[in-house]
Amino acid sequence: MFTLIGIGMIVVVVFLANREQRKDTGGTDDYIRHTRQDIRGVMWLLAAVVVMLGIIADRIQ
């Protein structure tokens, strides 16, 4: 159950991030684009941790 909740949260965050990315016009600086890529990488790492903790919590129950 915890794993499904974690995956659901990840899907919502990915959906919102993609929506914000589409709103972006071509006038942004390269620094901002690289920062967004870094943030996206950190988001995927945190998503992996959330799923892993969900699996551990499901096994404990």
> SS3 sequence, 1-61?
CHHHHHHHHHHHHHHHHHHHHHHCCCCCCHHHHHHHHHHHHHHHHHHHHHHHHHHHHHHHC
Q: Residue 29 — pLDDT band, cuts 50, 70, 90?
A: confident
**Residue 28: is its pLDDT beyond 80?**
no
Going by pLDDT thresholds of 50, 70 and 90, the confidence category of residue 13 is confident
**How much is the pLDDT for 24?**
67
**pLDDT beyond 80 at 22:** no
pLDDT value at residue 56: 92
> What is the tens place of the pLDDT at every residue in 30-52?
787 788 888 888 888 888 898 89
Cα-Cα-Cα-Cα dihedral sign, residues 28, 31, 33, 39: negative
